[in-house]
Structure 1
Amino acid sequence: MIPGFAETLEGATSPGEVAALPVPESYRAAVLLKDEQTMFDGVPLRDRKPADSLHVREVPTPEPGPGEALIAVMASAVNYNTVWSALFSPVPTFAMLERYARTGGPAARHDLPYHVVGSDLAGVVLRTGPGVRRWRPGDRVVAHCLSVELEDAAGHDDSMLDPEQRIWGYETNFGGLAELALVKANQLMPKAAHLTWAEAAAPGLVNSTVYRQLVSHHGAGMKLGDNVLIWGAAGGLGSYAVQYALASGATPICVVSSESKAEVCRRMGAEAIIDREAEGYRFWIDEHTQNPREWRRLGSRIRELTGGEDVDIVFEHPGQETFGASVYVARRGGTVVTCASTSGYQHQFDNRYLWMSVKRILGSHFANYHEAWQANRLILRGRVHPTLSTVYTLANVGQAVDDLHHNRHKGKVGVLCLSPTEDRGVTDPAMRDRHLTAINRFR
């Protein structure tokens, strides 16, 4: 990268100044290598080390095509899809890149010997491709991670139903854990002026996912008075679910794995908290057998916390470890809404508790542009806050991903890319001062 590039970019005051800056021929990025995609074959998932597969390398700068934008990435953040990418599980991402490239046209560029990963960013528009009208060089932006073609009619009622929708930086190349990133212009949203670059990068994927999962009519439709069981309530997804529940007048029942994580939930305003480690919940007797007694014990504990009520909504994302319990504890007619399976994809549950109590299981995957925009609007207005806890440099991205892999984190883990320090990016200090306590809850 050109020396002083980030400082020059931040100091530019007009689109013309940014457009006049030279585009670097190459940039540093966190990459996986295609010739290493079998390196963990035979190694149990828990023993795989993301730092062994993630490399920070110089890669050539792509040119934005029609409807695309090249972004100078000031900061990014780590999501669980980067954990899956770095573990080459459940499948190496290169198979998805090859499949995308076979659709032809500009997609062919994505099949490379390396994969630039990462599905969050905050930065500055550096260049735009033909046909981009809304965004100009110099705009301070964040990006959501839905990459969609919208050439199929199925995507025009809800773009998540488009057969060619993909998650940028996971199912596509040129992701956000890098100094530059290539996105579609319809992934861009305005950056919150009261947040640093790292704080602004943190909400993208998880905030939009939670908005659709809990608030949107495509999700659980959470309403005033609902009881919502939130697994991993101090984690990346859960920390936003707690904020949305509280803001909506619902009651979050927060499941966490330590007292320090319980305290974070209390700082957000939650009162009903279950420390699953301290209370010794073990939902599996062995790897093949679940323990319904533990489901019943969890249900009793929930009713203690809610004054005798079961939960209307279960916010699911651990998957295999918890899914049987989730189906059991949802109230009659309740909803289990799931967006991931971080503990495993093979879900087992007793269907009697589903069909005889007319419950429903609802799948929810990321968000469409409208939902992502609405979720980002809440960040801009200071109604929902970033849950950034730790910030690494790009050189230490392997450690950042390993923190998620072993659940050592709270909230979101950020990564500085072009920004030289954590305190850069704020242009509305007065608004920041009003919300500083909430912004720093996870630090």
Structure 2
Amino acid sequence: MSQLGEIQQAILNDDLGAVASLDVPETYRGVTVHKDEADMFEGLESRDKDPRKSLHVDEVPVPELGPGEALVAVMASAINYNTVWTSIFEPVSTFKFLERYGRLSPLSKRHDLPYHVVGSDLSGVVLRTGPGVHNWKPGDEVVAHCLNVELEGPDGHNDTMLDSEQRIWGFETNFGGLAEIALVKSNQLMPKPDHLTWEEAASPGLVNSTAYRQLVSRNGADMKQGDVVLIWGASGGLGSYATQYALNGGAIPVCVVSSPEKAEICRKLGAELIIDRNAEGYKFWKDENNQDPKEWQRFGKKIRELTGGEDPDIVFEHPGRETFGASVYAARKGGTIVTCASTSGYMHQYDNRYLWMNLKRIVGSHFANYRESWEANRLIAKGLIHPTLSKTYALEDTGQAALDVHRNAHQGKVGVLALAPEEGLGVRNHELREKHIDGINAFRNV
């Protein structure tokens, strides 16, 4: 049996104490993009770029373990939109990130390679820890959030997301989670929720923490009870957590979706106010350069019909270009548009009169700091927020999983198995799981 096979068997046999005594292999399988293929999609529209062509499963060397770091045996991971961006080399090739990181220090030079092991989520077991790590030990069952931060400058010591050397692990760094082994900083680690399977536990990390900061944290929209929250893509990987946080926090979500099936998912979560944008036929853009304010007005009217005449206190924005003009218009006077992404385009246009004359504000929000990520994971562990896993692929099929997300042919989150040989493994607290099984399975078989 291979060294990695011995590690896998020890984990599957719940012999976690043996992990520290097992040798770490010299190589492992990871999902990669290749630097010499960064121009492979040149001339194609984004929608025509196929992640199945650019994502490879390669045998790669285990990286050197540095101070404050940990090697993790990855049982499962998940697809995020940043993996799609990496796979289609947009908006820039991630090798530019790795080159920049590689110039920071001799240790960070490890990341500047002709291949990039991708992925910003994982659940697994700690294999080894580097010098200076004392909160974690080999055999610990963990999940990882994706904030990689150096914390040598002053800016990050109030909010680590403001650190001058803040990066997203597996996107702006190498050795990510779509692999059998991953390299993380120890302050990325959090306890694995013990009522979840490996693939369920892996799926919330990035999107759950992002939604928590964006909507709940004082660094984001600082949502309060009774707030009307307009949520774009409310059944998607990010929006589904925003919907749960709104409901869990006593707010009133208005869920925007694109199909009856996605509307039904929101109802399963407990939402009642739902707009099917395709059924309503909204066309916020007349052409490539001009938006249609009358459609903003029609959209705002629909929201008020659902809420009894109230405009949104908060607009949870992530589509970007396609929806941003409507979002700025729709927010109530003094309301907040909080944005964390631009999946439909980065160059936003909106009518500034609706912003300045109505004292609205736009807040930028990016991932989450360690405390916010820990709080978001704690809510998962307590069964107050649930994973939104809908489908799981094998590591070899990561390209297809990324294509699903690229084409929006998925619900919630798409998982990927690494060392876990099948779904359904890793549950420790069966009583808590049974109590919340309907919530855990809300996105499956849709």
How far apart, CA to CA, are the structure 2 residues paired with 1:394 and 1:280?
Answer: 38
Q: How does 1:165-176 map to 2 (within 5 A)?
A: 165-176=166-177
Runs (5+) with no aligned partner, structure 1: none
The TM-score with structure 2 as length reference comes to 0.98
Quote the residue 1:8 is aligned against: 10
How far apart, CA to CA, are the structure 1 residues paired with 2:335 and 2:431?
Answer: 43
Quote the residue 2:201 is aligned against: 200
1:131 matched to 2:132? The reply is: yes
Asked if the contact 1:12/1:18 (under 8 Å) is kept, the reply is no
SS in 2 for 1:343: coil
Asked if the contact 2:32/2:58 (under 8 Å) is kept, the reply is yes
Asked if the contact 1:117/1:169 (under 8 Å) is kept, the reply is yes
Asked if the contact 2:36/2:114 (under 8 Å) is kept, the reply is yes
Quote the residue 1:78 is aligned against: 79
The TM-score with structure 1 as length reference comes to 0.99
**1:23-43 deviation digits (Å, cap 9, x = unpaired):** 111111110000000111111
1:296 matched to 2:297? The reply is: yes
Quote the residue 1:386 is aligned against: 387
Paired letter, 1:6: Q
Paired letter, 2:410: H
SS in 2 for 1:311: coil
Paired letter, 1:11: N
Quote the residue 2:46 is aligned against: 45
Quote the residue 1:414 is aligned against: 415
Q: 1:90 to 1:228 in 2, by over 3 A?
A: same
Q: How does 1:59-138 map to 2 (within 5 A)?
A: 59-138=60-139
SS in 2 for 1:289: coil
1:224 matched to 2:211? The reply is: no
Report the Cα offset of residue 13 of structure 1: 3.5
Q: 1:194 to 1:12 in 2, by over 3 A?
A: closer
Asked if the contact 1:253/1:274 (under 8 Å) is kept, the reply is yes
Quote the sequence identity (%): 67
**1:154-196 deviation digits (Å, cap 9, x = unpaired):** 1000000101000000000000000000000000000000000
Q: 1:31 to 1:41 in 2, by over 3 A?
A: same
Quote the residue 1:437 is aligned against: 438
How far apart, CA to CA, are the structure 1 residues paired with 2:430 and 2:89?
Answer: 42
Quote the residue 1:140 is aligned against: 141
How far apart, CA to CA, are the structure 1 residues paired with 2:186 and 2:234?
Answer: 32
Report the Cα offset of residue 259 of structure 1: 0.5
Quote the residue 2:351 is aligned against: 350
Quote the residue 1:403 is aligned against: 404
Asked if the contact 2:6/2:22 (under 8 Å) is kept, the reply is no
SS in 2 for 1:3: helix
Report the Cα offset of residue 4 of structure 1: 5.0
**1:213-248 deviation digits (Å, cap 9, x = unpaired):** 011110101000000000000000000000000011
SS in 1 for 2:199: helix
SS in 2 for 1:170: coil
SS in 2 for 1:340: coil
Quote the residue 1:185 is aligned against: 186
How far apart, CA to CA, are the structure 2 residues paired with 1:9 and 1:334?
Answer: 49
Q: How does 1:328-343 map to 2 (within 5 A)?
A: 328-343=329-344
Runs (5+) with no aligned partner, structure 2: none
Report the Cα offset of residue 288 of structure 1: 1.0
Quote the residue 2:314 is aligned against: 313
Report the Cα offset of residue 22 of structure 1: 1.5
How far apart, CA to CA, are the structure 1 residues paired with 2:81 and 2:411?
Answer: 13
**1:312-362 deviation digits (Å, cap 9, x = unpaired):** 000000000000000000000000000000010000000000000010000
How far apart, CA to CA, are the structure 1 residues paired with 2:5 and 2:211?
Answer: 39
Asked if the contact 2:321/2:347 (under 8 Å) is kept, the reply is yes
Report the Cα offset of residue 12 of structure 1: 4.6
How far apart, CA to CA, are the structure 2 residues paired with 1:288 and 1:12?
Answer: 58
SS in 1 for 2:20: helix
Paired letter, 2:77: S
C-alpha root-mean-square deviation of aligned residues, in Å? 0.9
Work out the number of aligned pairs and report it. Answer: 442
How far apart, CA to CA, are the structure 1 residues paired with 2:312 and 2:163?
Answer: 32
Quote the residue 2:236 is aligned against: 235
Paired letter, 1:68: E
Report the Cα offset of residue 289 of structure 1: 1.1
How far apart, CA to CA, are the structure 2 residues paired with 1:7 and 1:291?
Answer: 59
Quote the residue 1:371 is aligned against: 372
Report the Cα offset of residue 63 of structure 1: 2.5
Paired letter, 1:50: P
Asked if the contact 1:252/1:270 (under 8 Å) is kept, the reply is yes
Q: Which one is further off, 277-286 or 333-342?
A: 277-286
Asked if the contact 1:63/1:70 (under 8 Å) is kept, the reply is no
How far apart, CA to CA, are the structure 2 residues paired with 1:11 and 1:182?
Answer: 24
How far apart, CA to CA, are the structure 1 residues paired with 2:219 and 2:425?
Answer: 36
How far apart, CA to CA, are the structure 2 residues paired with 1:9 and 1:319?
Answer: 42
